[in-house]
Structure 1
Amino acid sequence: MPQITVNEAIGQALAEEMRRDPRVLMFGEGVATKRKDLVDEFGKLRVRNTPLAEGIIAGTAAGAAATGLRPVVDLLFAPFLCFAMDEIVNSAGKLRYISGGQFAFPMVVIAMTGCGWTVGAQHNHNLEAWFVHSPGLKVVMPSNAADFKGLLKSAIRDDNPVLFFVDMALGYVPGEVSEDEQLVPLGKAAVAREGTDVTIISYAKMVNTCLQAAEQLAAQGVSAEVIDLRSLKPLDEEAILRSARKTGRVLVVHEASRMCGVGAEISAIITEHAFDALKAPVLRLTGPDTPAPSSYMLEQAFIPQPDAIIASVSKLMGKIALRPIQPEVQPEALTLTT
């Protein structure tokens, strides 16, 4: 299979869906500038730049969806979604229910998130849990090029609003993508690595970090199973519980902060439905409760790293840490002083 980057996979998905369905259109901040190939093929009516007005962009998308179109909008960075909360959460997320199913809202909202580009706190904030908590919305966060393409195609075809988060550090990461159409269904997790001793659950770029840790753990005699959630809502509870019951030990890893995060929900699901299978408490390894730093070195301290994952697994296994434990990053440690 050919290798393409995540950004190329997104572009392929958009082009294929626009060819397949004339109702699909794209607009947003800089989309016509960034995706000139789409403008050349589909014209300026279906691919448009917009003013920097996130609420208007999202509101226009909700209105377009209600009239039968299938808009894809790009709001650039996840924190900019703060300017479109009413249109996404209060309109697109609820109006299908309020209308008694008379209207559908097939819109996709793309936003970049995650450390790696040193864009600073006002451009980088993992907000996925906000939208998971919002009724009527679906939330997707892939980890590899094939899933980006397959999940975006499924999101465009879905009759509900979908938040499609792009971990910006993955944009230029290559991966094998089939030339045949490969739809990835929303709500289905993937087993990224089989294992028997411990389950590590994650999503977005942290999946690759977990796989690095699993490789090192294997060299030390610990078999780690890595679950890639891919879709945060709907959430594949069956896959989560199956792996938890299989290994009896679970670590949830994500870059977003711990408080009320996705990891808390997964921990609750496992505790409620698979407590009898657990050999140790469910652990969470997350980012700290502080805004993201703009220094690359501080970003690396901000997000979970393989050594910290290995240390957490060692704790679950009831062993002395196999690697030096990465100290928890405190907010004051991320503040530069002069």
Structure 2
Amino acid sequence: MAAPRIVFADMDDTFLSTDKTVCRENLELLDRLAEKGVPFVPCTGRTWRALPAEVLLHPATRYAVTSDGAVVMELLRDVAVQAASPDAAGEADVELECVGQDRSAVLARRLCLRAMGKERTLALYDRLEGVPCTFDVFWGGRVFVERWRYDLISTFDIRPDEKRAILRHRTPVDAFVPELVEHLGGVERVSLYWGNDALTPDILSAVDADETLHHTHSSARNLEVMDVRTSKGAGLEWLCAHLGIDPAQAIAFGDSPNDLSMLRVAGSGIAMLNAYDEAKAVADCVTAYDNDHAGVARHLRGLL
């Protein structure tokens, strides 16, 4: 493959090490991409606010495909907090966050939204009534969950590093989902986690009852639920069209079932050495190193 014009990468267990940090070699890769003017695009199930500060603040990261492709964001840095305030700007599609040790302001502008919406979210919530699972609502760069469901997460048999990340990036609320959704005004997607395999058939049945939704996952006993048009691959295609780049000139890295669509769409889809078998099956090739040994940076070293 020729040198890519744009790089897309999943975050967890792909660009990030298992402990959720960014290794030195991957940070050096971002420096090199910035020098060459090649955009680095996190393509993740996370919200943009949940991106590591080193990635979010780096000049190579000008865009992000988040919430599994439900949202495409443009990221602007070096802005004054007052000037960047969404209230001051009067723009509903602008979000502000101060990150890093120096609390640098990042202005995120929503370029594309394929929302799950309130009506389908509430219908799914009703179908899952009484099921002891989380019901995580993604909107505006944040993830909200009813407090009693948030407390359930600590009881689930989830990998410790993943459990810490789930808890850290969720905001427990005392309101129930119908009240919460009405207050938020929208829903990008919903995430479900549960702790008992016996619940899986009922949860799948509740989600599959609506043909306008589809689901994927990035770990065991987890579903990421979204509009049927939404995927990381669709987000990749949209951003490439927006930037005037042929997807054939894109390279994408991933490890999980929620990465399959972008691995198929990109001109070069690369599965991590530590990837699920499903990801390796659709990828053009597999990295020689896993996510704990800078697999992304080492693969790109010879292409840049």
Return the index of the structure with the highest Cα Rg.
1
Q: Which has the higher contact order (CA 8 A, sep 6+)?
A: 2
* TM more than 0.5: no
Calculate the TM-score normalised by the size of structure 2. 0.27
